[in-house]
Amino acid sequence: MDKCWFKNYESGVPKTLDIPDITLNRFLDDAARLAPEQTALAYFGKHISYLHLQNLVDRFALGLLSVGVKKGDRIVLALPNIPQFVIAYWAVLKLGAICVLVNPLLTPRELLHQVQTSGADIAIVLDRQLNKVDEIFSKSRLKHIIAAGLESYMPFFMNVAFQIKKQFVSEQKETCKKLPVLLFRELLNEYKELEFETISPKDPAVLIFTGGVTGTPKAAVLTHQNLVANALQARYWITDFQVSKEVIVGALPLIHSYGMTACHHLAIQTQSVLLLYPRYNVKRILDDIIKYKVGIFPGVPTMYSAMIDELKRRDLKSLPVRVCISGGAPLPLKIQQEFEDLTGAKLIEGYGLTEASPITHCNPVYGKRKEKSIGIPWPNTDARIVDVESGKVLPVGEIGELEVKGPQVMLEYWQSPEETSHVKMDEGWLKTGDLASIDPDGFFCIADRKKDIIFYGGESIYPAEIEMVLNDHPQVKEAAVVGVEDDYYGQVVKAFLILKDAEMPDKLELETYCRERLAKSKVPRSFEFVERFPRNFLGKVMKRQLKENSF
């Protein structure tokens, strides 16, 4: 069974890649040198070339230097998919600093945890969200806030319309006066030649927070080497990839590890056009797929489901897009088949985890694939199934924990050696926390999640975090959170509650309580009150029985 998946590699996919000993910065340097006039970013019809992008990056790097950023510093990027995110990202890397990728939709409580854990000195946020930063500023070590606007790189008339709509309300103006806020454009200093510190491929490049195998939030440390490897693996998996000619949909959040590699890094490394969308607007994206003749569309199942509905409304029979790679959540067979029938594109399922930069497996694009399978390991990637208790490698067909190994596997969890030791072994194997099996052809299938992660539209939601919030409610004795099936999002959150007394809390009040403390996606869609929870002999709540009410 040693690497039996190789027999299902498509012609043109190398079994082993020669991963160059370079930093991630080389991708942008090469793109600006090889394709200076090629469009790098397209944003609401406004285009930025690779040469212009590099110029903006260099200028912003000088601006960051002027406020004291140095090698090893952590810089929070809490932005949607806008040009300033891309500019700031590569500028931070140029200085040898570390990008801390943070979801801009987090609540102040969640944001504070990530800022404190990373030890960040600077946060780059949307100007519309300065009030959120104001709530946490005094509790963190943040010294500067850099504010960016959605409209800044839009075409002229859209820019004006957005500014009129925003009109920077008085409360935000007061926040600006209290906080040490710099506007993004103020840091775009006039370019000058400057020597930067030497950066090693083994240096940390990115911190991304994840619940990981144990479910407790921590930051995966991804090095330049990890990220270079995964971008190259992605590029060579698509056998008909046309370097400097592709257009890639950038609708996945670039702060997420999947969007980071499959959209952002892949586009820059191959001198492709990256279409940026601050939010998923299916009508606009479909228009752009046709206008730009998009070839690559990475996404999550909910994106493809929404696209199917839009295609039916417009009665479109085909699209120029060739390759769609689905990740983040299991891909329903119905969506896969219907999307392919409507578009003529290939929609294939892959698999990964933040700790692996994130992609490790994928079904072949044009070759053999299997229903309900995450596919086969990528070049330079090894995988095995082991017994959960003994760690013994299991044979074909048996279910155990999936472990992976490869150049994309993270360095460690940030300042968490004990947590790191739970998932990463000396030989380089990474425990994924997922239960899976392998078949004789080398295809892997996920059987279940080792932990009770909820997959909401491609986003991983960790029940323990929501349970902590609910357990703090004065009327709640104990909470248990599970994911329940949803036709659109895949899963949504449901909370089971044991109350302290017989008085029932108002469900609307419970929902409001959660909304004030949790991101929208984590707020339970329903609450159910029970007298007891089913438990095993160790006292642990058996959530499957809870969901099925079989106790």
CB atoms within 10 A of CB 144: 18
Residue 208: partners with Cβ closer than 8 Å, 6 or more residues away: 101, 219, 220, 222, 255, 256, 257, 260, 354
C-beta of residue 353 within 8 angstroms of C-beta of residue 367 = no
Query: What's the burial of 216, exposed, middle or buried (CB within 10 Å: 0-12/13-18/19+)?
Result: middle
pLDDT score of 67: 95
Compute the average pLDDT of residues 195-211: 93
pLDDT score of 69: 96
Task: Tell me how far the alpha carbon of residue 172 is from its chain's centroid.
Answer: 29
Compute the average pLDDT of residues 144-153: 93
Which position has the token pair 């339970």?
A: 524
Q: Is the pLDDT of residue 163 over 70?
A: no
Residue 125: partners with Cβ closer than 8 Å, 6 or more residues away: 76, 78, 79, 104, 132, 133, 145, 146, 147, 148
Q: Which two tokens stand for residue 264?
A: 């952002």
pLDDT tens-place string over residues 166-199: 665 555 656 666 789 999 999 998 878 778 889 9
Least confident of 177-181, 204-208, 479-483: 177-181
- Using only C-alpha atoms, the chain has a radius of gyration, in whole angstroms, of 23
Higher pLDDT, 211 or 223: 223
CA 165/CA 253 separation, integer angstroms: 24
For residue 387, which of 448, 435, 451 has the smallest C-alpha distance? 435
Q: Strands of 427-515 (E only): list them.
A: 430-438, 444-449, 454-456, 459-461, 476-486, 490-499
pLDDT score of 461: 85
Q: Is the pLDDT of residue 537 over 60?
A: no
Q: Is the pLDDT of residue 16 over 50?
A: yes
**Start-to-end CA span in the chain (Å):** 41
How would residue 543 be classed by pLDDT, with cut points 50, 70 and 90?
A: confident
Q: Which amino acid is at 188?
A: L
- Which range of 178-182, 388-392, 439-443, 446-450 scores highest in mean pLDDT? It is 439-443
Compute the average pLDDT of residues 481-487: 92
pLDDT score of 426: 83
- Of the chain, the percentage scoring pLDDT greater than 70 comes to 93
Compute the average pLDDT of residues 317-336: 91
Strand order in the sheet with 218-223: 181-183, 144-148, 122-126, 74-78, 98-101, 204-210, 218-223, 412-413
